């Protein structure tokens, strides 16, 4: 039997940083499901497919091959044979992912892939619907959140550190739009699973959040 830890929450709550660190500590694999939706969004844009056209998107998605590989422990996203790990990490790819993820046919395909990954080995998986739809039997579910202002501020600093142009007001607007879109879609919207532990990271450091999750893992004998 494999052990599963599900971490869900809105954009910019720090899920990937935290999930990666927890996975490393537990020697579980880390699965970033957002990267799969981002790859799917990029594919649609590359092929000129209108993201609001459900039929066209679902038909195109059925022929797309997305897979996950690990290189020195780091997740690589492979889109039809091409490694797109670097390409998916842009604000644009995040917006495309949010738009493509509303379509049930896209979700069905990616959820199946995620469930296969979660059944084969011990995983920490992060996303929007991991505790509710992908791994409903996970031994530990976390709903990680933070205020919009805090999330936007963190993203702003991250972009600045990378030397990229950043506009705080613009980032806040994008985060609000993505929150709305992710939590109002019909198919598996972003919601806290009833048995998920709510963690608000607004006033916590990354290390404090990691420590809190490791404490919960120890209580459930996942360490
Ligand atoms: O976690 P992220 O920012 O990489 O996710 C990008 C988008 O993908 C997010 O706005 C909504 C969608 N997504 C989803 O619908 N379900 C998931 N499990 C993960 C991401």
**Residue count (the chain):** 223
Residue 197: per-residue pLDDT: 98
Contacts of 159 (CB under 8 A, 6+ apart): 165, 166, 171
CA angle centred on 70, ends 69 and 73, rounded to 5°? 165
Please work out whether the CB of residue 75 comes within 6 Å of at least one atom of ligand 1: no
| Distance from C-alpha of 133 to C-alpha of 121, rounded to nearest angstrom | 18
Distance 46 CA to ligand 1 centre (A): 19
Q: How far is the CA of 78 from the centre of ligand 1 (A)?
A: 17
| β-bridge mates for residue 31, sequence order | 125
pLDDT, average across residues 85-111: 95
| pLDDT-derived band at 44, boundaries 50, 70, 90 | very high
Give the helix/strand (H/E) hosting 80. none
Predicted model pTM: 0.95
Q: Pick the residue whose CA is nearest to atom 16 on ligand 1.
A: 128
Residues whose CB falls within 8 Å of the CB of residue 70, separated by 6 or more in sequence, listed in order: 29, 76
| Cα(125) to centroid(ligand 1), Å | 12
Read off the pLDDT band of 111 (50, 70, 90): very high
Confidence of residue 1 (pLDDT cuts 50, 70, 90): confident
Task: Choose among 126, 137, 142, 170: nearest CA to 37.
Answer: 126
Residue 13 annotated as binding?
A: yes
């Amino acid at each position: 039997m494999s052990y599963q830890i599900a971490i869900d929450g809105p954009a910019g709550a720090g899920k990937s940083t935290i999930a990666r660190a927890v996975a490393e500590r537990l020697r579980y694999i880390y699965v970033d499901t957002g990267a799969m939706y981002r790859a799917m969004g990029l594919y649609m844009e590359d092929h000129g497919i209108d993201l609001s056209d459900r039929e066209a998107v679902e038909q195109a998605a059925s022929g797309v091959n997305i897979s996950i590989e690990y290189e020195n422990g780091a997740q690589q996203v492979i889109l039809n044979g091409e490694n797109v790990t670097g390409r998916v990490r842009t604000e644009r790819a995040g917006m495309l992912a949010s738009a493509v993820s509303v379509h049930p046919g896209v979700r069905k395909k990616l959820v199946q892939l995620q469930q296969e990954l979660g059944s084969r080995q011990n995983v920490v998986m992060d996303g929007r619907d991991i505790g509710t739809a992908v791994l409903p039997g996970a031994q530990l579910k976390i709903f990680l959140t933070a205020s919009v202002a805090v999330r936007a501020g963190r993203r702003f600093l991250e972009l600045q550190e990378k030397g990229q142009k950043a506009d705080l007001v613009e980032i806040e607007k994008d985060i609000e739009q993505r929150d709305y879109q992710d939590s109002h879609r019909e198919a598996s919207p972003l919601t806290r699973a009833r048995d998920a532990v709510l963690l608000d990271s607004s006033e916590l450091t990354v290390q404090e959040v990691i420590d809190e999750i490791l404490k919960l893992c120890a209580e459930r004998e996942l360490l």
